[in-house]
């Protein structure tokens, strides 16, 4: 091994460049191509050599160095920035007739004698982001946000090993500016293991791999993102300086060439029958995949024709998402109970015999309100078909069998099951009006406040919220911010360190 401390500056610069090139090559071979050429031990040796060299010569450390994937200081908040080009949604359907109408519109737009060629690819179910490279170096990564602007999460995206920090150009000049769109995903096997670790630590599990991926890339501390096994698949060029591409096929090949991982099984088709064959194949294989897809995407291949056909404010007219039917399974309603939410609405809930639906164990499903309960005639002991709407939210679809001596129809309570206040009727819903005296509503408000869509308070899940309310430590949301570690350590599950961490997480918001 070269003694990094004795190298002159020019020799050190040459050695740093050599090590960076070698490490980039081996990272691509391992994380993108899944064909490692050296052992982990040898990779670690090269990495430590570069780390030592950059320590001795800090001026040699660059944005595209493999040593810069992890190490950024935690942020207080994310900066909102504009996208290079809009990240539009896709028009979508599950209807074959609508697919045929889409094809008809494309053929009409192209004109007589011009047959369309479509790019057909899986519709990944993850977190959509934009990556921007300047002179071949990753300079910015932005969440989709509202499609026009999003949050800058560059430090977090750097931690994903399959993301090239520098484009592979093989001695050719890198584009002065390149913007690509991709999907951050968490594989199902990792999602299940990750959720198990969260639950074991007393945390709130994520609802789906998509939510987990989206939450992971929005961590203010990039070390947290780095600890979660994420991947990035790139499928679109949003903007490029000096592009001579005539088709999406050319663009996808360029994306591969630059070192990005792309979705599996991208292919071309010319007819609706080609699309349906692809859709059927992926729908059949879906259960064996280790990543979530919720359909396929059909895009016109010809880029000049795309420009002519145009876009709406919401979606491109030259593309369509053809969704899969929701995953369904059969299980049994063990019992029906009610839940009092943070706004006082009392919701019937089916407690189910646990069943795995699309890689997620489902044991409860909302029955929404008393009218929905009556309309579907759901009763305890019934065998029912369930699905995850949007592959996320559990729903009871229908009764498919019931016992001969069937249970009586479930009756909604006339008073709140938690505080015994008489309920009020609001259309199909019933509600507990005791806003400030009902502990269930307070608990719900705490859970909502701590959720990822609100303050995102690490460590404050359902169990802890229940403890705070039932033990009288908190009687209002304002009191939540007055909790001390000394109060928490009195209770099982809280040591000094965990109590201090929770209080710090609350008071930092």
130, 150 in Cβ contact below 8 A?
Answer: yes
- The one catalytic residue in 77, 123, 323, 335 is 123
Query: Strands, E, within 402-456: which ranges?
Result: 424-426, 429-431
Distance between CA atoms of residues 102 and 93, nearest Å = 10
Angle of the 188-200 helix axis to the 209-217 helix axis, nearest 10: 70
The label of the residue with tokens 């690819």 reads 121
Structure tokens at 336: 């029906």
The angle formed by the CA atoms of residues 44, 46 and 52, to the nearest 5 degrees, is: 100
Structure tokens at 400: 């498919």
Q: What is the DSSP annotation of 161-215?
A: TTS-SB---TTSPPPSEEEEEEEEE--HHHHHHHHHHHHHTT-PPPSSHHHHHHH
Length of the chain: 509
Distance between CA atoms of residues 382 and 335, nearest Å = 9
Query: Who's near 415: CB < 8 A, 6+ residues apart?
Result: 421, 422, 423
Beta bridge partners of residue 396, listed in sequence order: 386
**Annotated catalytic residue 123:** yes
Is 366 buried (19+), middle (13-18) or exposed (0-12) by CB count in 10 A?
middle
The label of the residue with tokens 């029912």 reads 384
433, 416 in Cβ contact below 8 A?
Answer: no
Distance between CA atoms of residues 76 and 82, nearest Å = 20
Distance between CA atoms of residues 355 and 332, nearest Å = 9
* 66 HSE (CA, 13 A, CB side): 25
| Cβ count within 10 A of residue 215 | 18
Query: Who's near 48: CB < 8 A, 6+ residues apart?
Result: none
Structure tokens at 328: 């369904």
298, 120 in Cβ contact below 8 A?
Answer: yes
Hey, which residues are catalytic here?
Answer: 123
């Amino acid at each position: 091994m070269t003694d990094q401390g004795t190298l002159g500056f020019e020799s050190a610069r040459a050695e740093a460049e050599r090590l960076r090139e070698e490490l980039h090559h081996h990272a691509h071979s391992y994380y993108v191509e899944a064909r490692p050429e050296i052992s982990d031990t040898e990779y670690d040796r090269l990495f430590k050599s570069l780390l030592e060299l950059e320590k001795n010569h800090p001026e040699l450390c660059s944005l595209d160095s493999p040593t810069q994937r992890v190490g950024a200081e935690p942020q207080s908040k994310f900066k909102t920035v504009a996208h290079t080009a809009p990240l539009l949604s896709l028009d979508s359907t599950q209807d074959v007739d609508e697919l045929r109408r889409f094809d008809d519109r494309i053929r009409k737009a192209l004109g007589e004698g011009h047959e369309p060629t479509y790019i057909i690819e899986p519709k990944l179910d993850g977190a959509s982001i934009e990556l921007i490279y300047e002179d071949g170096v990753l300079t910015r990564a932005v969440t989709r946000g509202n499609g026009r602007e999003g949050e800058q999460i560059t430090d977090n995206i750097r931690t994903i090993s399959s993301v090239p920090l520098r484009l592979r150009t093989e001695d050719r000049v890198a584009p002065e500016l390149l913007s690509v769109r991709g999907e951050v995903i968490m594989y199902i096997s990792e999602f299940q293991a990750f959720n198990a670790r969260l639950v074991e630590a007393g945390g709130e599990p994520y609802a789906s791999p998509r939510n987990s991926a989206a939450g992971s890339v929005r961590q203010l501390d990039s070390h947290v993102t780095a600890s979660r096994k994420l991947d990035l698949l790139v499928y679109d060029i949003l903007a490029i300086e000096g592009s001579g591409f005539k088709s999406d096929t050319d663009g996808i090949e360029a994306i591969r060439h630059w070192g990005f991982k792309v979705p599996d099984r991208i292919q071309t088709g010319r007819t609706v029958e080609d699309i349906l064959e692809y859709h059927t194949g992926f729908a059949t294989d879906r259960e064996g995949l280790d990543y979530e897809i919720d359909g396929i995407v059909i895009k016109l291949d010809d880029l000049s024709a795309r420009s002519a056909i145009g876009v709406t404010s919401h979606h491109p007219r030259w593309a369509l998402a053809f969704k899969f039917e929701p995953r369904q399974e059969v299980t049994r309603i063990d019992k029906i109970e009610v839940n009092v939410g943070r706004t006082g609405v009392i919701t019937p809930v089916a407690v189910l015999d646990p069943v795995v639906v699309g890689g997620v164990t489902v044991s409860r499903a909302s029955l929404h309100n008393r009218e929905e309960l009556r309309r579907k005639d759901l009763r305890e002991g019934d065998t029912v078909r369930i699905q995850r709407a949007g592959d996320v939210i559990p729903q009871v679809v229908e009764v498919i069998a019931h016992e001969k001596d069937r249970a009586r129809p479930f009756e909604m309570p006339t008073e709140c099951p938690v505080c015994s206040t008489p309920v009020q009727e609001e259309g199909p819903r019933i509600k507990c009006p005791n806003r400030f005296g009902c502990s269930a509503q307070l608990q719900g408000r705490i859970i909502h406040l701590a959720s990822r869509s609100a303050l995102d308070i690490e460590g404050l899940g359902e169990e802890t919220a229940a403890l705070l309310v039932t033990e009288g430590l908190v009687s209002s949301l304002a009191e939540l911010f007055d909790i001390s570690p000394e109060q928490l350590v009195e209770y099982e599950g809280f040591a000094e360190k965990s109590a201090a961490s929770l209080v710090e997480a609350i008071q930092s918001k």
